[in-house]
Amino acid sequence: MSKLRLGVLVSGGGSNLQSIIDHCNSGYLPAEVVIVISSKEGVYALERAKRHNIPSFVVNPKTFPTKTAYEDEMIRLLNSFKVDLIVLAGFLRVLSPHFVNTFQGKIMNIHPSLIPAFCGEGYYGEKVHKAVLDYGVKITGVTVHFVDEGADTGPIILQRAVPVLDNDTPETLAERVLQEEHKIYPEAIKLYALGRLQVQGRSVKIIKGEEH
C-alpha cells in the first residue's frame, strides 16, 4: 500500500505537525509529510520540518496582491508535491471557496473545542479556552473536521471530550486539550488513509475495517 502524501499548513509552533511526523515515523500512520507551508516567517514549525528533512516554504499572504494570487501559489506547491491530503495544523488563515473547491474533501482541520461550540471567526488558540472558561461549561474538547467554505463548519470526523476543572486557567486547559489533539489528529488521518471515512451530507460515517 503506497503511503498517503500529506501537505501540512502551519502558522506557529507546529506541535500537531510534530505529532503527525512522529506517528508517520513510528509506522502508526501509513503516510508521510511531503511538504510544509507556513503563512509566517520564522515560526518553530519550519524548524521541525527542517529537522526531519521535509521541504518547507513560507507563503506569506502579505507579499501577494490578492488572496487568490496567494492561494494559487499554495495550490501550485501542493500540486507539485502530489499531495493526497492537506492537513491544517494551527494554520490561522480562513481558506477561500477557490482553494477549498480545488481540494474538495481533501482538507482536514483540528479545532480545540467541541464544534459547534466556541468556533468560527475569531475563535483560535487561547481565545477558545478563555471563552470556554468565561462561559462556565463543564466539558470542552477537540474536533477534527473536513474543511468546507465556512469557518469551522465542515463535516465532523472525530471528537474527544476534555473535562474543564474548577482551577483551570486558559493555559492549563489548553495544555490538556493539546494532549488530546496529538492523539485524535493522527487517528483521523489514519482513517482517511485506510479509506474508512464516508461523507454523507453533514455526516461522516466511519466504515468498519481491519486495523493495519
The torsion angle over the Cα atoms of residues 47, 110, 159 and 146, rounded to 10 degrees, is -130
The CATH number covering residue 64 comes to 3.40.50.170
Structural domain count of the chain = 1
Residues for the chain: how many in total? 212
Q: Using alpha carbons, select from 92, 81, 109 the residue that is nearest to residue 192.
A: 109
The pTM of this model reads 0.95
Domain annotation covers residue 197: yes
* CA separation for the pair 202, 62 (Å, rounded): 34
User: What pLDDT is stored for residue 105 in this prediction?
Assistant: 96
User: What pLDDT is stored for residue 122 in this prediction?
Assistant: 87
User: What pLDDT is stored for residue 209 in this prediction?
Assistant: 79
- Local confidence pLDDT in tens for the 212 residues of the chain: 689 999 999 999 999 999 999 999 999 999 999 999 999 999 999 999 999 999 999 999 999 999 999 999 999 999 999 999 999 999 999 999 999 999 999 999 999 999 999 999 889 889 999 999 999 999 999 999 999 999 899 999 999 999 999 999 999 999 999 999 999 999 999 999 999 999 999 999 999 976 54
**Positions marked catalytic:** 111
* Strand-strand pairing, 31-38 and 56-58: parallel
Phi and psi, residue 63, nearest 5°: -95, 5
User: What pLDDT is stored for residue 210 in this prediction?
Assistant: 65
Domain annotation covers residue 50: yes
Could you tell me if 83 and 35 are in contact, meaning their C-beta atoms sit under 8 angstroms apart?
yes
Domain annotation covers residue 39: yes
Domain annotation covers residue 166: yes
Domain annotation covers residue 211: no
In the chain the first and final C-alpha atoms are separated, in Å, by 11
By residue range, what is the domain housing residue 68? 4-206
Domain annotation covers residue 212: no
* CA separation for the pair 189, 193 (Å, rounded): 6
Residues in contact with 195: Cβ distance below 8 Å, sequence separation at least 6, in sequence order: 207, 209
SS3 for the chain is CCCEEEEEEECCCCHHHHHHHHHHHHCCCCEEEEEEEECCCCCHHHHHHHHCCCCEEECCHHHCCCHHHHHHHHHHHHHHCCCCEEEEECCCCCCCHHHHHHCCCCEEEEECCCCCCCCCCCCCCHHHHHHHHHHCCCEEEEEEEECCCCCCCCCEEEEEEEECCCCCCHHHHHHHHHHHHHHHHHHHHHHHHCCCEEEECCEEEECCCCCC
Instruction: Count the Cβ atoms, other than its own, within 10 Å of residue 175.
Output: 12
Domain annotation covers residue 52: yes
Domain annotation covers residue 93: yes
